[in-house]
Amino acid sequence: MQLKRVRPAGGGQVPGAIILALVFVCLAGSAQATKYAGAFMENGGGARALGMGGAFTAVADDPSATFWNPAGLANLGQKEILLMHSERFGDLIDRDFVSYTQPVDWNIFGGADSGIGLSVIRLGVDDIPFTEQLTDQLDTNGDGVVDGDEIVGLLDLQDDIIYKSDQELALMFSYGERLGAWQVGGSVKFIRQSIGQYSSLGVGADVAFLRPRVWRQLDFGIKFQDLTTTYLSWSTGRNELITPAIVPAVAWRQPVPDWNMDFTLAGSLESRFDNRGDADQYSSGSFSANAHVGLEIGFSHKVFLRGGYDSGFSAGNLTAGAGFRVNPLTVDYAYAGDSLDIDEVTHRISLSFRF
């Protein structure tokens, strides 16, 4: 299959103009978005990325690039599959990420070095109590409202409580291609959320760019997430919009050949426009942002140590991780601190296999 279009002269400069245009699209498309809609996708995938504080948009060189920056798919030279699992609150909240990527010998925009990816994000919460069917029994005074004194009646109705599960899924199809000095990519995602008998469906798109060595060893990346807003339609008749996010990022890669070591220092700024206020690290008006910074130290391309800060610089925002590679298998582990101050940390494990 060969799909090509003529690239204009000076093609290395085209993405800069496109990026500027996309910034205005994101700002215009953020109106009337629903705060925290689709939040289950925000932590992305891969223990490596989490160990680096989520500062992965300008790194994006493993299968988790389908989420962090699909332009990175143009760099992947082998087929690879990544499996990730994490838990919070014991096993109450389970989160899984699966991604398959491979290079392809065709391209869409007339460039070179193309790659595709397919990934799934799943978050599940089990044993959620539903009590709406007990309203008439609890409302002993008949005023149509279950107040604080009446809610204690649930102690006598425990056998009548219905327990259901919350399942949130995102399926993403991703593509990346090299255009001169730039790499471009995008993802189309399909979203389904369900809790009990209620469910929602939605579709959205991300567009991203990556510019390796924009200056010396410095890489630049930027992702336009939910570019024109992502529309979620609930079976209840309620509709939600996921606001666009702009994530500019940089990464400095420094090899040290004499010691057979590699250092990668990365940072990104996840910027939103849906009035999150003090819930995010920085805010002004409808704008808010969270900073992500991370460091990875590699030894002989086999052993890796990582650390970072995710959306803040307190002890609760600290992340750490380690990895071990014996080709074709890589095992990564990540720890994320108690950012909510509820004595609950996150552990994330991922396996990736190249073939």
Give one DSSP letter per residue of 89-136, joined into a string: TTTTEEEEEEEEEEEES--SSS-EEEEEEEEEEEEEEEEEEE-GGGHH
Residue 63 · residue 55 · CB < 8 Å? no
Give yes or no for a contact between 348 and 85, defined as CB atoms under 8 angstroms apart. Answer: yes
At 297, is the secondary structure helix, strand, or coil? Answer: strand
Confidence of residue 8 (pLDDT cuts 50, 70, 90): very low
Map tokens 């609950």 to a residue.
344
* Mean predicted confidence (pLDDT) in 83-102: 85
Q: Does residue 91 carry a pLDDT above 80?
A: no
| Cα–Cα dist 30/227, whole Å | 9
Mean pLDDT of 72-97: 86
| Cα distance between residue 224 and residue 222, in whole Å | 7
**Residue carrying the six token digits 């930027």:** 222
Residues 6+ apart with CB under 8 A from 299: 260, 261, 305
- In one-letter notation, the amino acid at residue 353 is F
pLDDT value at residue 6: 37
pLDDT tens sequence across 204-249: 999 999 999 999 999 999 999 999 888 889 888 888 888 899 999 9
Do strands 282-284 and 112-130 pair parallel, antiparallel, or not at all (unpaired)? unpaired
User: What torsion, rounded to 10 degrees, do the Cα atoms 82, 219, 24, 34 define?
Assistant: 40
pLDDT tens for each residue of 129-144: 666 666 777 777 777 7
Q: Distance between CA 15 and CA 6 in Å, rounded? A: 15
Beta-strand pair 303-310/287-299: antiparallel
Q: Is the dihedral of CA 137, 138, 142, 144 positive or negative?
A: negative
264-300 tens-digit pLDDT: 999 999 999 888 888 899 999 989 999 999 999 999 9
Average predicted confidence (pLDDT) for the chain: 85
* Residue 126, pLDDT score: 65
What CA–CA distance (Å, rounded) separates 264 from 174? 25
Highest mean pLDDT among 13-22, 71-80, 330-339, 343-352: 71-80
Considering only residues 211 and 20, tell me which one the structure prediction assigns the higher pLDDT: 211
Give the lowest-confidence range in 26-40, 101-115, 224-238.
Answer: 26-40
Looking at residue 239, its pLDDT comes to 87
Task: Quote the percentage of the chain above a pLDDT of 90.
Answer: 57
* pLDDT at residue number 343: 56
| pLDDT value of position 275 | 86
- pLDDT one-digit tens code per residue, 307-346: 999 999 998 899 999 999 999 999 999 998 866 555 568 8
Cα→Cα distances 172→8, 50, 203, 322, 326, Å: 30, 19, 10, 27, 28
Poorest-pLDDT segment among 36-50, 59-73, 177-191, 260-274: 36-50
All structural domains of the chain with their residue ranges: 11-263
Give me Rg for the CA atoms of the chain: 22
Residue 147: which pLDDT band, with cuts at 50, 70 and 90? confident
- Taking only the tens place, the pLDDT of each residue in 167-200 is 899 999 999 999 999 999 999 999 999 877 789 9
pLDDT of residue 204: 93
76-87 pLDDT, tens per residue?
889 999 999 987
